[in-house]
Amino acid sequence: MSYNCKDVVMAPYGEYWRQVRKICVLELLSTKRVQSFWSVRYEEVTNLIRRIFLVNGSQMDLSEKIFRLTNDITARAAFGKTCKDKEAFLSVTGDIIRLSAGFSFSDLFPSMKFLETISGIKSKMEMIHQKVDKIVDNIIREHKENRIGTETIEGEVEEDLVDVLLRIQEGGELEFPITMDNVKAVAYARTDTSSTVIEWAFTELLRNPRVMAKTQAEVRRIFDGKKKIDQADIEKLNYLRECRERCEIEGYEIPKGCKVMVNAWAMGRDPENWKDPESFEPERFQDLSIDYRGTNFKYIPFGAGRRMCPGILFGIANVELPLALLLYHFDWKFANDVKPEELDMAEDFSMVVRRKEKLYVIPMAYNP
């Protein structure tokens, strides 16, 4: 699915990986680029708010709506507003998530390649890969046919992420020329991380009425009387925002090519570092120098070092705005009279730990 390890996540460490990461950090996911997608995020979140108003007071599946929202934002940022394959993109993303969450004996015994065939996992992966290939091929072809771009009010050319990759490819000044597979691998990134964060955040807020009330009070105080929200308002929400070679580490020998998984979950819940680590207390971050940028190993949600997630700014932006506006426009309660302590908090195994059960809630419009 990563086009023979050509994306920034799966590419082996080396000159090619450094080049791809540089493109991501300086071009695709830079602060300026992420800020340029503000109108996309705001429009999509506003559309979601309108749809929720239509079901005011009724039960709704918030999990599905958030998943669709973050996919729509990512699809528009990556492929442009007029992308004809948005629904196909959403569908195949769901297929990838379900496949990655499944169990296969080939994962336990990776040296036994025949297990991939007899288990059916290989044929499923190839089928999904063909779908992804077709979608991204269509998108790239459309972009190549329309290279003039869309003019903004300031007279600059509006570029989505595919436009940027094609521009870099055509420039021909890179040490490793970018092929179509490179463009596809980088353009088709996972989008379920942002939706999962929003879903879990909402779950914890609903289970902790004190924190919910404090968060909504902050959002409504800062947004009060404003017809339109901008990035500066979001930044005021302090409470809401809160192996290639063999080596030896701490006496453990790490063979060349060995996959090493760092348990960031356990590090962020170590009672030696955090008081009551299992309790939902955003206040713990208010007067703390530790943040999420990978500078302290007590808390590394985006990783750290050279392999740190290059999409950190894009991911944070896709979480903050939806959370803020959903909390501003509505009061919320669990559907079916479920009490906070009774909510099923079971997790679904996958590359991203999602809720096993859908989050059903009842929105109640807030009238300031």
Quick one: pLDDT at residue 152? Answer: 44
So where are the chain's domains?
15-237+309-365
CA angle at residue 221 from 219 to 226, to 5 degrees?
A: 90
The domain 15-237+309-365: what is its CATH number? 1.10.630.10
Crossing angle of helices 121-145 and 86-101, rounded to 10°: 150
pLDDT greater than 80 at residue 130: yes
pLDDT greater than 60 at residue 82: yes
Q: pLDDT tens-digit profile of 138-197? A: 888 888 877 655 444 444 456 888 888 888 877 776 777 767 777 766 666 666 788 889
Quick one: pLDDT at residue 365? Answer: 95
Q: β-strand 247-249 against 60-61: which pairing, if any?
A: unpaired
- The two tokens of residue 272 are 């030696």
Crossing angle of helices 192-207 and 209-223, rounded to 10°: 110
Mean pLDDT of 111-117: 76
Whether the Cβ atoms of residue 297 and residue 333 lie closer than 8 Å to each other: no
Q: pLDDT tens-digit profile of 49-66? A: 999 999 999 999 999 999
Give me the phi and psi of 331, to 5 degrees please. Answer: -95, 155
Confidence of residue 257 (pLDDT cuts 50, 70, 90): low
Binding-site members are 309
Q: 57 burial class (0-12, 13-18, 19+ CB within 10 angstroms)?
A: exposed
Between the ranges 21-30, 63-72, 163-172, 357-366, where is the mean pLDDT highest? 357-366
Residue type for position 32: K
Between the ranges 119-133, 185-199, 309-323, where is the mean pLDDT highest? 309-323
Whether the Cβ atoms of residue 70 and residue 191 lie closer than 8 Å to each other: yes
Q: pLDDT tens-digit profile of 338-351? A: 998 889 999 887 66
CA angle at residue 69 from 68 to 75, to 5 degrees?
A: 85
Quick one: pLDDT at residue 151? Answer: 47
* Mean predicted lDDT score pLDDT of the chain: 82
Quick one: pLDDT at residue 217? Answer: 95
Q: Percentage of the chain surpassing pLDDT 70? A: 85
Quick one: pLDDT at residue 85? Answer: 72
Distance CA 15, CA 26 (A): 16
Quick one: pLDDT at residue 162? Answer: 84
Distances (CA, A) of 11 to 17, 21, 77, 260, 305: 6, 10, 23, 15, 16
pLDDT greater than 60 at residue 1: no
Distance CA 20, CA 45 (A): 30
pLDDT greater than 50 at residue 69: yes
Q: Percentage of the chain surpassing pLDDT 90? A: 26
Distances (CA, A) of 29 to 65, 222, 248, 264: 25, 28, 34, 23
Contacts of 18 (CB under 8 A, 6+ apart): none
Distance of CA 272 to the CA centre of its chain: 29
Q: β-strand 247-249 against 157-158: which pairing, if any?
A: unpaired
Quick one: pLDDT at residue 243? Answer: 47
Binding-site members for heme are 309
Total residues found in the chain within this entry: 368
